[in-house]
Chain A
Amino acid sequence: MTYLPYCIAAWLFVVGLYGIVTSRHFVHLIICLSVVQSSTYLLLLSIGFRSLPAQAPIFSDVPPGSPAVDPIVHALTLTDIVVGATVTALLLALTLNIKRKRGSVDPAVLSPFPE
């Protein structure tokens, strides 16, 4: 049980990858990419987690120096979430562009190695 959160992160990664491999639509593919990305958030946050009595690393209610979870991984995750959202927007804009230029959003149709 002590390794369950890490294994769920690994499972999320592979599930997202499965979605990317079997994708028939670029928007679906981009969402699967977000699933893969979210596995990194889960991994980072579960590494930094500490069991009670540790709390969030915000010392406005508790005295400074009381046990708290790791703030580094929180900082890494926080910036990544916002930046990930804009990168998703960029990918969606690229998808719109491809739809207009090539008339399709199916990765198989647009493959550099046509069947």
Chain B
Amino acid sequence: MSATARHVLFAVFGPVLLGFLCWGVCGLSPFGQFHGAYGELLNHVAVQERHVLNVVTSVIFDYRGFDTLGEEFILFASVTGVVLLMRHEQSEQEDACEPHSIQQHDTGVLDPAASDLTRLFTLGFIGAVLMFGCYIVLTGHLSVGGGFQGGVILFGAWVLVLLAYGSGVFHRCANPSALEWAEALGGGGYVVVGCVGLLTGQEFLTNVLPLGHTGQLLSSGTILLINCAVGTEVAAGFVLLLVEFSRPLQKESPGQ
């Protein structure tokens, strides 16, 4: 189909679709007026039932925990897909190039000319980001936070390493096989926690552990464990993505 035909088709049917969507959403309850029974109920019972203060966390990791397991497998599968694609590409590239030409360009284009001052300040910042990430992962059941958000913040520490110290140091800090183990443990840990429920004769992902006192760090039963598993998986998966995406640049660009 030619570009013009595509544009004409969109000019006709785009507004039609927009009108149709607007007509559709106007059938919803007015903004701010929706009172979903399920949400209302959870807001009332979740704190007593699961000893969590953040109801969103209880929904993600307990009431709809099975749903989140599926989402986590999507994450796992796409990280695996990226790693497979990029490594396949990498091996093809290495076959094509002479070995010594790779050696020559090993310093890479991602190595910035960061000043010592930048590196010093970033070093302090990396520690703070790691601490903050762990805090967010571990307090998902108490306040704003959780494994998904905390995992991404932990990933930020590796981004800082890459930006301030360059790809050489970054690749030494991010050992792919250790990251793969961490990701697999995160993904598998979720399933193992779910299976504990099965062992006690109840449904998969039942919150069987002692719930503790509401508001304390060691409370909410399996939610805390699943939070840690998800945080590990998200952080390891994202760092693995960064490792794979920062490697080809390192060798391809100087040759061009």
Contacts and interface: CB of A to CB of B under 8 A. Distances in A.
A74 interface: yes
Contacts of B30: 2-3
Contacts of B24: 10
Given A75-B64, A79-B148, A10 B55 contact: no
B17 A21 contact: no
Given A75-B64, A96-B86, A6 B26 contact: yes
Contacts of A87: 74, 78
B21 A97 contact: no
Contact of B28 (A22, A47, A59, A83): A47
Contact of B75 (A17, A50, A58, A82): A82
A21 B7 contact: yes
A100 interface: yes
Interface size bucket, A side?
A: 35 or more
Interface size bucket, B side?
A: 35 or more
A98 B109 CA distance: 23
Contacts of B32: 2, 49-51
Interface stretch (B37-45, B189-197, B204-212, B221-229): B37-45
Interface in A1-52: 1-7, 9-11, 13-14, 17-18, 21-22, 43, 46-51
26 contacts: A2-B30, A2-B33, A4-B31, A5-B31, A6-B26, A10-B24, A14-B17, A18-B14, A22-B3, A22-B7, A51-B33, A56-B144, A57-B42, A59-B54, A60-B142, A70-B34, A70-B40, A71-B59, A72-B36, A78-B60, A87-B74, A93-B81, A93-B245, A96-B85, A96-B89, A111-B1
Given A14-B17, A64-B47, A79-B68, 10 more contacts: A9-B25, A17-B10, A17-B14, A48-B39, A59-B55, A60-B143, A74-B56, A75-B59, A83-B75, A90-B78
Interface of B: 1-3, 6-7, 9-10, 14-15, 17-18, 21-22, 24-26, 28, 30-36, 38-40, 42-44, 46-48, 53-56, 58-60, 64, 67-68, 71, 74-75, 78-79, 81-82, 85-86, 89, 92, 142-144, 146, 148-149, 151-152, 215, 234, 237-238, 241, 244-245, 248
In order of increasing CB-CB distance, the 8 nearest A-B pairs are A6-B25, A70-B39, A10-B21, A2-B30, A64-B47, A51-B32, A57-B55, A75-B59
